[in-house]
Amino acid sequence: MNLNGARALITGASEGIGYAVAEALAAKQARVALMARRRDQVEAAARQLGGLAVVGDVGLEADCIRAVETVVETFGGLDLLINNAGMGVFKPLLETSLEEFQTVFATNVVGAMLMAREAARQFVRQNSGHLVCIASTSGLRGGKGGTAYSGSKFALRGMTECWRDELRRHNIRVMLVNPSEVQTPFFEKLGHKQEPSPRKLRGQEIADAIVGCLEVDDRGFIPEFSVWATNPF
């Protein structure tokens, strides 16, 4: 994929991995649209990158439809969706409420499906497109406290496999990325302290890996890959 001039929509893009990916794509001269729920944050992030701010919640169908329509109308099409928006709850099964479980799945599973569906509609019309879903190594192996979060990432991985099989015949590449622990505001928002470390992953490493994956010639693609810190200990 030639990223120069590519039209990209990144969800959960106001900070963390999403912002790092948007920044890396903009550095490759892609046209970037950043989507997030908080207007002040996403507009500030878009200004920094010279991109388009799209305010919306991926868990709401109307917002997903509007987001893709806005990008298509503004950019004249859509070449790439980075399905990054996500949230988490980490509690033992016996302490996990239905509301918490549903909230995680509303963003990580339903939101991912809605965004993928709307982007895929445009990709099929164009007979080309690239869909990258950001999952987690927690979607490869579950662990204690991961009922909601790991469960949602396992679901995303399964959906991505379905989309890959369905969409390849339309020249659409569907890729899944499994980052291990990344130093972002994600854990702080959940009330968990994350010790900063020069050994742990940053959003930049995930973004660099995604760019490298995308720049493979369109005749081939990397279906799935994980990114681990070499020695985080």
Active site residues: 149
Residue 100 backbone phi and psi in degrees, to 5: -65, -45
| 224 phi/psi in degrees, rounded to 5 | -160, 140
Tokens of 43: 């507009």
Residue type, 198: P
133-170 core/surface letters (b: 16 or more CB in 10 A; e: else): bbbbebbeeeeebbbbbbbbbbbbbebbeebbeebeee
CB of 157 within 8 A of CB of 141?
Answer: no
Beta strands, E only, 70-113: 80-83
